[in-house]
Chains A and B, each alone.
Chain A
Amino acid sequence: MADWTLFEVFVRSKHGLNHKHVGSVHAADAEMAIENARELYTRRSEGVSIWVVPSTAITATASDEKEALFDPADDKVYRHASFYELPDEVGHM
């Protein structure tokens, strides 16, 4: 049997929100993948926009890279607004 391609599906649930990964579909090409994703993942009006990407086109971080990639961010508290203490008089900033 001629295999269909596995596509990962990303749906934007409301205007203004990011596309979010929801799962995958099989399809012969990207157009069909969009249609299949529409039928499968937006049956209850969950989406306003769909992206499909061939699964093989996605490069992901490997689990053993976790420490190298993500741990360094853990101690950079100065990136977070709550790190900076301001007097109450300043009000909301």
Chain B
Amino acid sequence: MYAQMVETGSKGVRDLESMSDQERAFQERVDADIKIEAKNWMPEAYRKTLIRQISQHAHSEIVGMLPEGNWVTRAPSLKRKLQLMAKIQDEAGHGLYLYSAMETLGADRDEEVQKMHEGKAKYSSIFNYPTLNWADMGTIGWLVDGAAIVNQVPLQRTSYGPYARAMIRVCKEESFHQRQGYEILLHMMTHGNEAQKAMVQDSINRFWWPVLMMFGPSDANSPNSAQSMAWKIKRHSNDELRQRFIDQTIPQLQILGCTVPDPDLKYNEETGHWEFGDIEWSEFYEVLKGNGPCNKERVAQRKKAIDEGAWVREAAVAYAKKKQQRNAA
């Protein structure tokens, strides 16, 4: 999930009776699955929560380019290079679609990006892990994008119109990302040598638990979930999405002929679900606090790009003004 632990500023969900007329009309509209649009009245907390959630989602797309950018110069064939370049480009594009949706709420992109650079705004914890071998490009596509898709598919029906429409576009374009990732791994497992197979297993070992953490803490520890669900900017609980992801992923893992580093993983015939071991949440909270393996490098790299690009953006504005004056003269 690209948006984790989004603060809603609310301690509990209020019932319709205790709301003002405006709030009630808004909630009834949401309950009736009528989209909220930019010009509609909305509670301030809804607007702020959405800005936090959409910007976090957008930051994740942008920071998510970096672990892949680490290998795009070393892609092992022309085909793989083209696929990876196209995927990274889509991520920049998806970040932009999302910022665009966020700006309809009156937020300013540059200000929100600035918050991320100052460590005040989050992005998905997963991008603070390093990419250490080529198989990581496959694992990111298969597991990381796979987890993101499980989250994003329901968000196509989210209550805020511009966000829902951005999600529809993102989901449509992203359909190839997970497949290309899985195909990288499958090809290495079926056509590769022993070293390549070892790379795949090593990659899955490193990414498995951090990917499960992408869905956020257990429902019991998600104080903001209820309000977000009532507003329909979150449509399923963290645990529900995590279980859905695991159930769909394990059969794919078996086809690869790989394992995950979880001795407790087993199929429950009665429930039809895969049961898994305890997630090490202290690691998740440490990464969120900025103490993951790559937090500092990732933020520094984004900040450097924007800071060093300042003279370029200023020049473009100065040139545009000169041109306007010349045309007016």
CB within 8 Å for A29 and B100 given contacts A2-B313, A43-B93, A63-B37: no
Residue of A32, A44, A62 touching B316 (CB-CB under 8 A): A32
Judge whether A61 and B39 touch: CB under 8 Å. yes
What residue of chain B has the Cβ atom nearest to residue A39's Cβ?
B93
Give the residues in chain A near B323, CB-CB below 8 Å: 29
CB within 8 Å for A2 and B96 given contacts A23-B166, A63-B37: no
- In this assembly, does B194 line the interface, its C-beta being within 8 Å of a C-beta of chain A? no
Q: Which B294-329 residues sit within 8 Å CB-CB of chain A?
A: 310, 313-314, 316-320, 323-324
Give the residues in chain A near B319, CB-CB below 8 Å: 28-29
In terms of DSSP, what is the predominant structure of the interface of chain B?
helix
Chain A nearest CB, measured from B164 CB (Å): 13
Chain A nearest CB, measured from B254 CB (Å): 33
Judge whether B317 and A24 touch: CB under 8 Å. no
- In this assembly, does B109 line the interface, its C-beta being within 8 Å of a C-beta of chain A? yes
Chain B nearest CB, measured from A36 CB (Å): 9
Judge whether A43 and B89 touch: CB under 8 Å. yes
Give the residues in chain A near B316, CB-CB below 8 Å: 4, 27-29, 32
Q: Report A36-47 CB contacts with B as 1/0, cut-off 8 Å.
A: 000010011000
Give the residues in chain A near B100, CB-CB below 8 Å: 23-25
| A1 CA to B39 CA, complexed, in Å | 29
Chain A interface size band reads 20 to 34
| A26 CA to B40 CA, complexed, in Å | 24
- In this assembly, does B7 line the interface, its C-beta being within 8 Å of a C-beta of chain A? no
Judge whether B318 and A62 touch: CB under 8 Å. no
| A11 CA to B144 CA, complexed, in Å | 31
Judge whether A3 and B110 touch: CB under 8 Å. yes
Give the residues in chain A near B110, CB-CB below 8 Å: 1, 3
- In this assembly, does A53 line the interface, its C-beta being within 8 Å of a C-beta of chain B? no
What residue of chain A has the Cβ atom nearest to residue B89's Cβ?
A43
Judge whether A28 and B313 touch: CB under 8 Å. yes
Judge whether A1 and B166 touch: CB under 8 Å. no
What residue of chain A has the Cβ atom nearest to residue B166's Cβ?
A23
Chain A nearest CB, measured from B67 CB (Å): 22
- In this assembly, does A60 line the interface, its C-beta being within 8 Å of a C-beta of chain B? yes
Residue of A27, A44, A61, A64 touching B173 (CB-CB under 8 A): A44
A contacts, CB < 8 Å to B: 1-4, 6, 23-29, 32, 40, 43-44, 60-64
Q: Given contacts A24-B100, A40-B96, could you give 20 more A-B pairs where the C-beta distance is less than 8 Å? A: A1-B110, A1-B313, A1-B314, A2-B314, A23-B166, A25-B96, A26-B109, A27-B316, A28-B316, A29-B319, A29-B324, A32-B320, A40-B93, A43-B90, A43-B93, A44-B173, A61-B39, A63-B39, A63-B40, A63-B41
Pairs A–B under 8 Å by Cβ, sample size 5: A1-B110, A3-B110, A23-B166, A28-B316, A29-B320
